[in-house]
Amino acid sequence: MPARPRTLFAQLLSYAFVGLLSNLAGYLVYLLITWLGAGPKVTMTLLYATGACIGFWGNRRITFRHDEKGMAVGVRYLLAHCVGYTINFVLLYVLVDRMGYAHQIAQAFAIFVVAGFLFVAFKYFVFPVPATAAQAPR
């Protein structure tokens, strides 16, 4: 029997917890690597890919309790993250290269923007509740 869908509030709390831990660790590594001399966009690219791989398990199992088999869920996850990465990259380009903001502040802002986008994408596109589970009595 598949796991019962979680409420929106429970999903948001779980998503925030998983995201807070992974993004805090990633942001601290981002600050360290850029302090050592790497460029902000190169560093963000490496950390984004690493975080996406780690986040797949946390969001699939913990946040959305999704148990779909096959590659389709992985493809949807990759597509969502491609859009999220593009949003992050464009924000860094506009805020840092065009507007002159410090990359540390721009990246911190981008984390929240991308996290909001990804929650919606994960909930409704990547890890959707199957119609039969959504209609089950609670």
pLDDT of residue 91: 97
CA–CA separation, 66 and 5 (whole Å) = 9
Minimal CA–CA distance to 111: which of 26, 43, 14, 10? 26
Q: What is the pLDDT averaged over residues 42-55?
A: 83
Residue-range domain boundaries for the chain: 8-128
Q: What is the pLDDT of residues 70-123, one digit of tens each?
A: 899 999 999 999 999 999 999 999 999 999 999 999 999 998 999 999 999 999
Minimal CA–CA distance to 113: which of 10, 19, 1, 13? 19
Give the pTM.
Answer: 0.79
pLDDT at 136 over 80: no
Who has greater pLDDT, 58 or 100? 100
